[in-house]
Structure 1
Amino acid sequence: MSNGLPGLLRKSLKDIPVKGFIIPAGWTVMLVTATSHLNSDIFNDPFEFNPWRWKDINADVVSYNFMPFGRGVRQCPGADYTKAVMATFLHVLLTKYRYKCCFKFF
Structure 2
Amino acid sequence: MKYTWRVAQELMRIIPPVFGSFRKALKDIEYGGYDIPKGWQVYCVSHGTHMNKEIFEKPTEFDPSRFENPSKPIPPYAYIPFGGGLHTCIGNEFARVEVLTTIHNLVTMFEWSQVFPDEIITRQPMPYPSMGLPIKIRLRKL
Partners of 1:56 and 1:43 in 2: how far apart?
Answer: 9
Residues 70-98 of structure 1: per-residue CA shift (max 9 Å, x gap): 113220133345567x58xx6xxxxxxxx
- Aligned amino acid, residue 29 of structure 1: V
**Shift in alpha-carbon separation, 1:82–1:42, aligned structure 2, 3 A:** closer
Q: Counting strand residues as a fraction of each chain, which structure ranks higher?
A: 2
* Cα contact 1:2–1:33 (8 A) shared by 2: no
- Aligned amino acid, residue 30 of structure 1: Y
Partners of 2:92 and 2:57 in 1: how far apart?
Answer: 30
- Specify which of 32, 47, 70 is matched with residue 56 of structure 1: 70
Aligned length: 91
- Specify which of 35, 39, 54 is matched with residue 48 of structure 2: 35
**Shift in alpha-carbon separation, 1:38–1:7, aligned structure 2, 3 A:** same
**Shift in alpha-carbon separation, 1:57–1:70, aligned structure 2, 3 A:** farther
User: Which SS does the other structure have where 2:42 is aligned?
Assistant: strand
TM-score (norm 1): 0.66
Q: Which runs of 5+ in 1 are unaligned?
A: 91-100
When Rg is computed on C-alpha atoms for both structures, the one with the higher figure is 1
The 5-angstrom pairing of residues 61-76 of structure 1 reads 61-76=74-89
**Shift in alpha-carbon separation, 1:57–1:14, aligned structure 2, 3 A:** farther
The 5-angstrom pairing of residues 3-14 of structure 1 reads 3-14=16-27
**Shift in alpha-carbon separation, 1:43–1:83, aligned structure 2, 3 A:** closer
**Shift in alpha-carbon separation, 1:57–1:23, aligned structure 2, 3 A:** farther
User: Which SS does the other structure have where 1:65 is aligned?
Assistant: coil
**Shift in alpha-carbon separation, 1:41–1:24, aligned structure 2, 3 A:** same
* Cα contact 2:24–2:41 (8 A) shared by 1: yes
Q: CA RMSD in A?
A: 2.9
TM-score (norm 2): 0.52
